[in-house]
């Protein structure tokens, strides 16, 4: 250090030792190296370094790089350490500058030339805000003096994968190689099991045919199926006529719809994975938006619209707007400026599905039905989906796949809601979710997670709500995943995408074969049947599933630590068993009647009066998941659902354990299975 003059230069003094700054700077550089996109000191890579951990919630921190991009969630201890070291280094450096005004701090003498350049740029220069001024957040919310002493048992910390290195790359390729063979073998066993259980059904159908009986005559909607099949053939005939004679005898186009919506696609169904195509078959259309989450993932948002009323936006306007949610003015483009705006509704899909599940039943598809009923319909997809994308990471990076249901709720749902609000100009939207879509919503709205999201929703409609596990979780193949250790789970299913060979088969198999095989496998796994579906459309239904999901998310569902162990998304096994004891013996797994749904259930299924005193052992709402920010709930429970137990969730509301949740509608449909709420012919 250069000596600095004091008292007018009469008594030269030496500055304090620079060792503490050197030590802190070195520690910060090392910590940043663990969390950066690449090695911070690598040549030509100055903007990928980690400079801050930003806390979206008290227990969810994303890494901000020097160029403003985001990297996914890191363990809390690592995030706190990065911020604390940064703040300490800045405080010490700025303090030295104040004590030795006019001097130059020769950082090269502290920690080496490369580290000095890194520290100079990313430690001692405060980041600038949007006005170009030094950010005041530096010494404030980036510093966390003490991280939480424990994490929620249902959401244990995710593993930390640092930037690429020889050792990390070797680890990744080892897991990818082992999981390719082991998960393919596991999938093969499942496929063989599904095919073997189909043998009795095939034999029965053959016997009925040989005895001149119709094996489909006993189906609940057989006559309706025949009628719909005839209608589709007639529409194909009319479409061919329209293509041959583009105009009728009176000079007008020959419309195919009787509801005023004129299809712009038609003919034989080619069975393709394209929501826009199926929208155009019913006189609607679709535009695709790209949305960036706060941890850098680029996810797809599909907008279903009436082309007579709305003009599709350009590519630039539909691209992502950066990671910050709930910012910017609306860009809505109705054709008629005087047109009354339609209320926006966001639809979220289930596990291993995409939002295309809402679009496979022609006019009876929920997305198309809502659009034609006067709503502005938006279809949200979770991270990765059909096309895994991230602002910084690529497919092979394990950080691309280090997420579970918590991140899907806190980041994905928030980003999608924000974009719909931005595009429509409304202050609130309606949310409809199915299965896992309800799970991520239940998690996100919880008071420990991101309850402010509830203030953006007018109502949360849950179809087959997935909060408590059904009896299917005890099946042998699911129990196997619960028994094996986390290390063995990762060895078998990898640290990247979960059984990616399923998506490979999706791209190479004929859609009819893939649809048939997909139904057999998922029916075997989840005890679904197609009794209430339109079989003529079944191959469509499985063109939008499965999609890419992370092995970590499946480990959250099926591994030994989280949902499969506790059988609940927000309560541990001990907590909900204690609630069962308060409710009285004999009601552990039985259905219940909510005040709004009691007329849908037999009287014997209602709450027992003799348990009233027992339920008062704890103060009302002492174990509540939600606070006053929660939106109104509406629930449709499939009574014949083995995958999840929606009736237990209704009991939670009925017993007053959620005093801040207003249940505005709820209904148990006894004959429905898990997917019937979407695909049953009478679902609408």
- Residue 348's pLDDT is 98
| DSSP track, 77-88 | HHHHHHHHHHHH
106: left (phi over 0), alpha (psi -120 to 50) or beta: beta
Strands 70-71 and 60-65: antiparallel
Q: If you ran DSSP here, which 8-state letter would residue 310 be given?
A: B
Report d(CA 430, CA 377) in Å as an integer.
10
- Residue 617's pLDDT is 58
Give me the residue spans of the domains in the chain: 7-150
Upstream peptide bond of 546 is cis (omega within 30 degrees of 0): yes
- Residue 246's pLDDT is 55
**Over the Cα atoms of the chain, what is R_g?**
29
- Residue 397's pLDDT is 95
- Residue 629's pLDDT is 97
List of E strands, 388-468: 429-434, 457-463
- Residue 282's pLDDT is 94
527: left (phi over 0), alpha (psi -120 to 50) or beta: left
- Residue 137's pLDDT is 43
Residues of the chain under the 70 pLDDT cut: 1-22, 40-46, 93-151, 244-258, 328-335, 585-620
Active-site amino acid positions:
435, 641, 674
- Residue 44's pLDDT is 53
Q: If you ran DSSP here, which 8-state letter would residue 355 be given?
A: G
- Residue 230's pLDDT is 92
- Residue 15's pLDDT is 46
What number of residues does the chain have?
684
The answer to whether residues 548 and 500 touch, using CB atoms and an 8 Å cutoff, is: yes
Report d(CA 486, CA 555) in Å as an integer.
8
- Residue 153's pLDDT is 85
- Residue 331's pLDDT is 62
Report d(CA 221, CA 317) in Å as an integer.
44
Report d(CA 304, CA 277) in Å as an integer.
11
């Amino acid at each position: 250090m250069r000596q600095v003059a004091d008292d007018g230069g009469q008594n030269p003094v030496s500055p304090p030792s620079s060792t503490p700054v050197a030590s802190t700077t070195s520690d910060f550089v090392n910590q940043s190296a663990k969390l950066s996109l690449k090695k911070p000191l690598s040549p030509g890579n100055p903007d990928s370094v980690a400079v801050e951990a930003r806390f979206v919630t008290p227990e969810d921190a994303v890494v901000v790089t020097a160029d403003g991009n985001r990297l996914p969630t890191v363990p809390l201890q690592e995030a706190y350490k990065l911020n604390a070291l940064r703040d300490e280094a800045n405080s010490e450096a700025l303090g030295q500058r104040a004590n030795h005004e006019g001097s130059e701090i020769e950082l090269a003498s502290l920690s080496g030339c490369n580290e000095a350049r890194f520290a100079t740029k990313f430690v001692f220069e405060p980041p600038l805000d949007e006005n170009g001024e030094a950010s005041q957040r530096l010494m404030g919310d980036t510093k966390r003096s003490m991280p939480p002493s424990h994490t929620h048992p249902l959401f244990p910390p995710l593993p930390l994968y640092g930037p690429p290195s020889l050792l990390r790359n070797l680890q990744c390729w080892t897991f990818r190689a082992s999981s390719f063979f082991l998960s393919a073998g596991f999938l093969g066993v499942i496929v063989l099991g599904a095919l073997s259980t189909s043998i009795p059904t095939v034999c029965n159908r053959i016997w009925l045919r040989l005895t001149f009986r119709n094996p489909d005559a006993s189906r609940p909607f057989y006559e309706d199926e025949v009628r719909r099949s005839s209608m589709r053939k007639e529409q194909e005939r009319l479409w061919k006529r329209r293509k041959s004679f583009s105009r009728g005898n009176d000079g007008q186009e020959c419309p195919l719809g009787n509801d005023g919506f004129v299809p712009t696609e038609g003919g034989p169904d080619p069975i393709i994975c394209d929501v826009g195509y199926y929208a155009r078959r019913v006189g609607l259309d679709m535009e695709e938006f790209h949305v960036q989450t706060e941890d850098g993932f680029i996810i797809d948002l599909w907008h279903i619209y009436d082309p007579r009323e709305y003009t599709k936006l350009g590519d630039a306007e539909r691209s992502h707007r950066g990671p910050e949610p709930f910012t910017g003015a609306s860009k809505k483009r109705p054709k008629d400026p005087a047109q009354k705006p339609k209320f926006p509704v966001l639809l979220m899909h289930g596990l291993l599905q995409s939002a295309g599940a809402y679009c496979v039943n022609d006019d009876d598809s929920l997305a198309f039905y809502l659009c034609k009923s006067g709503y502005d319909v938006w279809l949200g997809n979770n991270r990765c989906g059909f096309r895994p994308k991230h602002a910084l990471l690529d497919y092979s990076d394990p950080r691309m796949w280090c997420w579970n249901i918590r991140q899907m709720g806190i980041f994905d749902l928030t980003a999608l809601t924000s974009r719909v609000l931005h595009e429509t100009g409304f202050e609130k939207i309606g949310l409809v979710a199915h299965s896992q879509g309800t799970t991520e919503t239940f998690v996100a709205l919880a008071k420990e997670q991101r309850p402010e999201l509830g203030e953006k929703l007018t109502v949360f409609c849950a179809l087959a709500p997935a909060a408590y596990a059904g009896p299917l979780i005890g099946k042998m193949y699911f129990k196997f995943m619960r028994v094996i250790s986390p290390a063995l789970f990762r060895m078998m299913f990898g640290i990247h995408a979960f059984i990616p060979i399923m998506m490979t088969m999706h791209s190479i198999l004929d859609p009819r074969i893939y649809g048939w095989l997909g139904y057999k496998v998922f029916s075997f796994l989840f005890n679904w049947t197609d009794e209430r579906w339109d079989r003529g459309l079944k191959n469509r239904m499985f063109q939008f599933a499965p999609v890419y999901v992370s092995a970590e998310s499946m480990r959250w569902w099926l591994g030994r630590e989280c949902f499969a162990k506790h059988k609940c998304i927000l309560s541990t096994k001990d907590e909900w068993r204690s609630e069962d004891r308060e409710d009285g013996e004999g009601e552990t797994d039985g259905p219940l009647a909510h005040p709004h749904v009691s007329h849908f259930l037999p009287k014997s299924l209602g709450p027992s009066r003799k348990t009233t005193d027992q339920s008062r052992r704890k103060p009302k709402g002492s174990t509540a998941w939600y606070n006053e920010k929660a939106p109104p709930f509406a629930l449709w429970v499939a009574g014949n659902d083995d995958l999840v137990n929606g009736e237990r969730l209704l009991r939670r509301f009925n017993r007053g354990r959620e005093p801040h949740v207003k249940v505005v509608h709820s209904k148990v449909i006894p004959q429905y299975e898990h997917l019937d709420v979407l695909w049953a012919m009478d679902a609408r």
